[in-house]
C-alpha cells in the first residue's frame, strides 16, 4: 500500500487528475472501505486543496457524514434537502457554480462558494454514498471535473463501499 502521495502544484488541473488516476489504485488496496474512503478524500484534497472534500453515506432515509478533509461539517442531511440529497435522489452528479443560487442549499460552512456532489454507486447502480466537494471559489468546477471525479469513483467503487452496505 502507498503511504504517501505527490502532486505537482504547478501542474494543470487535467495533469493533477492524471496523477490521481495513477495514485488511487495502490492507495485504495485495503479491504476496509471506510479506510479507503478516508484516503480517497485525503488524496483528492491534497491534489486540489479544495475547502471541503468528503463522503456522506446513505443510512436509511438520510445522509450521514463519513470520512472527510476540511472544517467541521453537517453530521446528518435529510432526504429532499440540499445539493447532496439532490445528487442522491437523482443518482447523478450535481454541479453548483454558485451555492447562493441553489434553492435549499445547506450551508455547513459560510466559506463554500461552489460545490459538486457525485454519487457513489454499487454494482447494481444504487447510490450508497455521495462524494461532496466544496470550494471557496465561485464557479470552481466544470463538466470536466464531473467526468474525471465520477470516473474515479466508478473505477474504485468496489473498494469504497463497505460490504455490509453493498
Q: If pLDDT is split at 50, 70 and 90, which confidence band does 1 have? A: very low
Q: What is the pTM of this model?
A: 0.93
Of 64, 103, 138, the C-alpha closest to 116 is 138
- The mean per-residue pLDDT over the stretch 119-137 comes to 97
How many other C-beta atoms can be found within 10 angstroms of the C-beta atom of residue 9? 8
Q: With contact defined as beta carbons under 8 Å apart, do 114 and 98 qualify? A: yes
Residue 15's pLDDT is 96
The structural architecture, per CATH, of the domain 13-165 is 2-Layer Sandwich (3.30)
> How does pLDDT run across 62-96, given as a tens digit for each residue?
999 999 999 999 999 998 889 999 999 999 999 99
Q: What is the dihedral of CA 135, 1, 36, 19, to 10 degrees?
A: 30
Taking the C-alpha atoms of residue 161 and residue 152, their distance in angstroms, rounded to an integer, is 14
Q: Which three cell numbers stand for residue 9?
A: 502544484
Amino acid at each position: 500500500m502507498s503511504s504517501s502521495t505527490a502532486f505537482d502544484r504547478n501542474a494543470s488541473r487535467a495533469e493533477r487528475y492524471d496523477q490521481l488516476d495513477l495514485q488511487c489504485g495502490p492507495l485504495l488496496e485495503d479491504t476496509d472501505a471506510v479506510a479507503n474512503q478516508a484516503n480517497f478524500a485525503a488524496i483528492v484534497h491534497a491534489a486540489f486543496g479544495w475547502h471541503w472534500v468528503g463522503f456522506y453515506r446513505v443510512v436509511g432515509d438520510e445522509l450521514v457524514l463519513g470520512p472527510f478533509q476540511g472544517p467541521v461539517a453537517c453530521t446528518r442531511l435529510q432526504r429532499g434537502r440540499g445539493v447532496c440529497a439532490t445528487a442522491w435522489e437523482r443518482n447523478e452528479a450535481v454541479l453548483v457554480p454558485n451555492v447562493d443560487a441553489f434553492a435549499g442549499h445547506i450551508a455547513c460552512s459560510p466559506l463554500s462558494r461552489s460545490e459538486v456532489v457525485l454519487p457513489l454507486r454499487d454494482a447494481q447502480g444504487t447510490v450508497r454514498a455521495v462524494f461532496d466537494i466544496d470550494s471557496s471559489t465561485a464557479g470552481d468546477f466544470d463538466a470536466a471535473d464531473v467526468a474525471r471525479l465520477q470516473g474515479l469513483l466508478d473505477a474504485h467503487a468496489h473498494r469504497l463501499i463497505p460490504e455490509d452496505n453493498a
